Amino acid sequence: MLEISLRSWPAVKAVWFAETIAPGDLGGGISVARLVFQQVKNRPPPTVTRAAQVSEFHTLLVDLTQEEELLWQGVQKKTRGYIRGAAKRPHEIQRIAGQPDRSLIRFVESFRSARDLGSTRAPVYARYFENGLATALVVDGATIIVHIYIIDPTIHRIRLLWSARALDTEEDTSGLNKLLHWEDMIYAKRVLGLKTYDWGGIALSDGALEGIDEFKRKFGGVLVTEYNVTWTSRLFAPAAKLLGRG
């Protein structure tokens, strides 16, 4: 389990990957305005659902403990071809952890704005950089793809938070994105010693996100259902909308 402070006052905290959640976990003192439990493994009991907002969250988990050859064979054959092709293109992969990289944050925010995917405050990005990893694929000095992850070392899990690509390039961003995801998995396995790659959600719909779901499925993985739980203090309830922007 990983706890991250998203705002100091009034306090907003995110708690990731809890095994279970009980009524006693809700609250945290007079200064805590909101607690957001992300991807709780087990279904919360009725005593929690009566006190907080609970929703199902579906994602794909890839087992990084398997042999690399099995991991590779779990990727769809056509996708493996795209990865091989992209790997032949001269490129560089950069990895940043600990300190936030403003240029990568601007890159991600620009993409999200262009795709109407919302916005995130700079301090929140900073908290996730402190507890995760950012990777960037660069071609001829230009950043083409960026991934930002959160890492829970206690359960050896890496979870995709944001993925962004350059919108003003003639490069094959789809192939390069597949390559970076594959390289991220191998780096998480070999170097970081992590056991689970979490794709950060899957929509399970026939709408606009269907193509993204299909992209993720082509890397294998097991579909799981977890639970998001949001508790808001009654004291700060009138200001709830002001706390909503992560």
pLDDT tens digits, 31-60? 788 999 999 999 999 999 999 999 999 999
Question: Is 80 exceeded by the pLDDT of residue 77?
Answer: yes
pLDDT tens digits, 229-240? 999 988 766 655
- Return phi, psi of residue 166, to 5°: -65, 140
pLDDT value at residue 242: 55
Q: Calculate what percentage of the chain has a pLDDT beyond 90.
A: 74
Q: Which of 86, 95, 184 is closest to 139 using CA atoms?
A: 86
pTM of the model: 0.92
- Distance (Å, rounded) from C-alpha 177 to C-alpha 240? 36
Question: Mind listing the domains of the chain with CATH numbers?
Answer: 2-58+226-243 (no CATH), 60-224 (3.40.630.30)
pLDDT value at residue 172: 80
